[in-house]
Structure 1
């Protein structure tokens, strides 16, 4: 399969040949106004310099880096916006859906960077409430200077922190949240002009895309975390190998299994079986899966039983090829998934959750769990320190509540239930 970039006629692209192309291309002229260094000193410089494509690219790069950052660090981007517009503050206010008066402010003002609550009483007074999404406005679009000076919002919230000139845009994301981008200058600076608006109008679509990207990536991380936790709680270890057969990821269950080095281990970054015969079989399956991946055929799934030095029941190992798409090329591309299950492992589900699912008493639930883990009724009674007759009485009650007639059937429905996915 050819590269996705080759398909799009970028096969000959070389960053070294294009490093300087965008450096001095002005997008438009901008009057740079130095930000306030304190509440009393404000530079009134009006030196014109171009806002180049390179400068705009740097700001948008910071935007998308923030979107992909698991910790969502937006301050560097806000700082770059603040510097570009000669502002004293650049802030992003987050308002969740259904809570228009609540929010969180992420601000940048030179050395001052902070995350703070956006109080209800302040939000209620804001003149920018209810603006159409993605529209750039300033205070003077909404109020006269006299109205702004007389407003409670300005006097109670903006005046003391030197926020006189305000340029604003509300960005609505696909999950229903509203993000308010605010840039401010002190009174001694000039108001935001048409060139400032032009810059903001170019920036707002990127802010919207970056925020939606952040939501998607964050949601994907959450989903992956949930899937990983579910497989771990079901005692299924998952090891992901790249196109060279090197381990690039493993879930908690697989990590625990590999750390035991009881039949399976990672050596030199590669998954190996301890015994030579088992390892030959395992490596053959991995090679076959890698060849299948490179050929872009149907995914294959094969299994092998791997012996353990401890003498416990063998590991059950399944090897499956991961078919690529045209965008999953490059280093450490997921190519093979290896699933490992302890066939003799004992599970310990949440007793409370099992009670809720099967409407059992705590004592009945404890007995059912022991039976599901393979103990006989006599062995379970001994482990639970109860009389055998008591265990028989519990079992009759369990049969009645679950609608089963045999112990083997009880074990089957219990093992197939979602009780094993609950937190302990």
Structure 2
């Protein structure tokens, strides 16, 4: 199987897992087979690495997941060393953070890894912030040579897709009820959502999106495609890149495209975030999901933001002001702080929430607002 076929085979169950969580096991198994990895897992660790768990384990006795959480998560040398070096959409090879000699001296290896014949692991990072990390890991047996550059290249290609799929799951996790299908998820979601096919046409939308289109002042459908009444080129480019899965310069798309649309007065009014959804092996599937959220009036979201993301009072105030105004300079003025202070503080807020920039943060705070009504 050539490299492109391997990538397609891996991405098909990965993106299917967004709406069918059981497909995550198939994703792990397929990527494991493509890289000669006998064990894989989805691993979650808190920032201090005193606690961790395995949300998914393939190739090993499921009981090992509970044993890991209860006895060995705090001893994971690889996670301890790699914490500050993890990057969303990137990979971390265990051999780059600890030598095999160091590993073999640890309790973690001798009492846990050795039983599974594990001496090398590669982590694909989906989340890395002040709260902790979420990674998909692959493990190689001691009798095999280290992962080849071809193996690592495949993992590098898969990693941003894994991060993107996790990001979509995280957004949908705001739903308070368990949903059984895409249609029911869209009906219940607090954000306006549109599913787009490979021609960028809307294949389905939820009532919130219909309401937004009905207003007609920010967004409309043109030949079945979402089109901004202003910022037309920016939204078109984001949609084109998302359904193609590649950025304008031809590189693989690593993150969701985000555009802040303006109203007639030139104020930031709508945050549009478009996520690639269909891997190359799924030509008949929806190609992207478009989330839309108005920049709303400020509610008393401070307590919710502090509880959810461990923000300070000053950080939550700035996040609320940014949600209200859609502009960091205006938010700084509203909070009575200098622009340089606001820039530093907003970076901390993004780190704590796991967001990647102001547009993404605005949409997250808007989602909290919608769920708090």
The answer to whether the superposition gives a TM-score over 0.5 is: no
Structure with greater helix percent: 2
Q: Which has the higher contact order (CA 8 A, sep 6+)?
A: 2
TM-score by length of 2: 0.43
TM-score by length of 1: 0.39
Q: Which has the larger radius of gyration?
A: 1
